[in-house]
Amino acid sequence: MTILPPTFHFPSALLRLPSPSLFTNPMFLSMAAQTHYDSQEINLPNAPNCTINYPVPLSPQLPAISKQMELARAMSASSKSSLFSLSRTDVVFEDDWLIAVNKPRGVYCESVLSSIPSLLNDSNDSVELGTQVDLPELHLANRLDRDTSGVMLITKSHKVAAKLVRAFTDHKVRKTYIAFCVGQAPEWRQITIKSGHGRSKFGAWRVYAASDVGRKLPGGSVVRDMQTLFEVLSVNGHGCSKALSAEEKIVIVEEKSVVDTNNVEDEILVRAYPQSGRTHQIRLHCQYLGIPIRGDVKYEGVYEWKGIKYDGHELHAESLSFEHPITGLPVVLDAPLPMWAIQALQPLPC
């Protein structure tokens, strides 16, 4: 039996390889300048005449320069994480069932979790010298990327953990993020982007067409839906954005992004409201929109900007809102903003 894949016709421009200098430019790795054709067609080993045509990712492959930089960042984070400990000033919220902390950039979630017991012991005033309290059953309720700062929620029992996992799965937890992006200033004030999400045959997370949701990928996984609402907070220090359209724009991804790279020097601060919880969701959608996050070399963000080199991306988990799993009361957790966000939110005069 032969499964005939559909025929795709690509413009010749998509088949040209980018200039090698593109991957060595330390200032900006432009998405629009790169052209990729990811062949996802795989021959079955036991049936050489039978091929499976998998969905083709629509976001670019990882820039060549990102591999070396990501390795260096991972080694730095491992060293930093091994010495990391929390203080009471890092605590955003705590009760008998939950504790939320403000995770710094460049520290792994597991290191934050492992430092909770000593924090709880140190803060228990009733503990006699030389003794320890019985530690609760600690679980991570949410995870953040290594270089993403902000709210991390930890539960203190299996029962509470199970309830929060269900709340996250059912999209009953509202999340907001702040991101500092560099690219072409958008014409929209708000935009909702809907796409597919999954791993390519090389294992990297990529954006897929919305119509590919549910289709099988190499390795056995499937394309899953991914949706994010973005709101522009400031452009080049101006928070008054009068020229931006007040009408919310909706983008349903079905083809590769085409972004004008003639103007790539705008600084855009956005707030993101992820409607799904996919890995690297905000980072991928920022890349697709042509406003990659500053420092995010994996997804084409600048790593050197105005004479400063960045050792991580500037993405901050601003808040979590949910119904308390035990009391049923509304809970809103806000993490203090990092300095880069505070400075960007101080707009210049209009």
* Residues belonging to the active site: 145
Percent composition of the chain: helix, strand, coil (DSSP 3-state, to 5): 20, 30, 50
For the chain, the first-to-last Cα distance in angstroms comes to: 67
Please check whether residue 103 is in contact with residue 144, taking contact to mean a CB–CB distance below 8 angstroms: yes
Are 183 and 294 in contact, with CB atoms under 8 Å apart? no
Alpha helices in 83-124 (DSSP H): 109-114, 116-123
Dig out the tokens for 18 from the structure. Answer: 């980018």
**What is the bridge-based pairing of β-strands 304-305 and 308-309?**
antiparallel
Nearest-angstrom CA–CA distance, 73 and 66:
10
Q: Is 339 exposed, middle or buried (0-12, 13-18, 19+ CB in 10 A)?
A: exposed
Determine the Cα–Cα distance for residues 257 and 14; give it in Å rounded to an integer. 12
Q: Which two tokens mark 112?
A: 């934050």
Q: What are phi and psi of 294, to 5 degrees?
A: -60, 130
Task: Answer for the pair 215, 55: CB distance below 8 angstroms, yes or no.
Answer: yes
Distance, in Å, from the CA atom of 39 to the CA atom of 105, rounded to the nearest integer, reads: 36
The rounded distance, in Å, linking the Cα atoms of 189 and 244 is: 5
Query: Within 13 A of 18's CA, how many CA atoms are on the CB side?
Result: 19
Neighbours of 309 (CB within 10 A): 10
